[in-house]
Amino acid sequence: MTNESTTGNTSKCAVCGASSWCEVFSARDRLHPSGETFPIAQCLRCGVLRTLPEMSDAELAAFYPNDYWGEKENTQKWIRSSQREKTDFLRAYGISSGTILDVGCGAGLFLRALDAEKWERFGVETGPPAAQAAARRLGDKHIFCGTLPQAAYPETFFDVVTFWSVLEHTNEPRAQLEEARRILKPRGTVILQLPNAGSYQARWFGGDWFSLDAPRHRYHFNRDTLGRLLAETGFSVYGARRFSKTHNAHALRQSLKTRLRAGNSLTGRALFLACIPWIKPWDWMQSSLGRGATLTLAARLD
């Protein structure tokens, strides 16, 4: 993930506090017709990647389609199937009941996939339509529309706090984890899933990597940068995966399509079609070697 770059200054890194950055490449907005490009820069102190320019939460809201967080109604059977990767991760690490908060809960699909008899379920969601959809199913008192700090939950209230594909969207990842630490019970668990900026896909595709999702993804972590941030905010990692059936192969497919210009070139389309049978086995092999494109970590309070 290297190319010619220039050093510049911007606001302080929300991970380590440094203010010097090095632009490494640019990424195109994959969801907007204009195809606007955004610089991706690396912090010269901690190494985390960041999408520029800086944007407030209000400015970022304009880049999210109305259905980005999954507000559509679905059957309970479909919900359980679509969320199985997440619920299986909990079971794999013996997390089976308690009080749980899902940060960035969208329409509450993950929470709705949990057994209501074993879990007391809460969610935080910044998008009003998604928060309303979640509240219809889980109750107004269990869904907060706003940010995690704004929710102001009591100290040591939750057994588990989850960030499924959420931490990368925030301008303040350290503050999010510090708040999670405050509201977790002693030995409570935080679970995070996000794109792995140290993966083979990130290295191969650079600015064409589908999971950069600029400008919506603000910070891009690898295992080292995320692990350091967790340690500095009081957590110890005890479970990790780099394979995601939901995300990895899909990201590889879309990244290849972009890199080969499969939508604009007959040659590119032919090459892309030839690659399709190899996408899933290749990604599985790379993931098994620890190079997978999605990080899922479980960490508990020290």
pTM: 0.93
Contact 7/22 with Cβ under 8 angstroms?
yes
Give the amino acid at 178: E
Residue in the structure block whose two tokens are 């009941």: 97
Q: What is the topology classification, in CATH, of domain 76-247+293-301?
A: Rossmann fold (3.40.50)
Residue 110: burial class (beta carbons within 10 Å; 0-12, 13-18, 19+): buried
* Residue 56 exposed, middle or buried by CB count within 10 Å (0-12, 13-18, 19+): exposed
Domain definitions of the chain by residue range:
7-56, 76-247+293-301
Q: Are 297 and 228 in contact (CB under 8 A)?
A: no
Burial of 59 (0-12, 13-18, 19+ CB in 10 A): exposed
Cα 249 to Cα 102, 107, 181, 195, 254, distances in angstroms: 25, 24, 33, 12, 9
Phi and psi for 125 in degrees, rounded to 5?
-150, 130
Please tell me the predicted confidence (pLDDT) of residue 181: 98
Tens of pLDDT along the chain (302 residues) come to 443 344 444 689 999 999 999 999 999 999 887 789 999 999 999 999 999 999 988 898 888 876 665 555 578 888 999 999 999 999 999 999 999 999 999 999 999 999 999 999 999 999 898 999 999 999 999 999 999 999 999 999 999 999 999 999 999 999 999 999 999 999 999 999 999 999 999 999 999 999 999 999 999 999 999 999 999 999 999 999 999 999 999 999 999 999 999 888 899 999 999 999 999 999 999 999 999 999 999 999 98
CB-facing half-sphere around the CA of 126: CA atoms within 13 A: 16
Instruction: From 274, 210, 203, select the one nearest 244 (Cα to Cα).
Output: 210
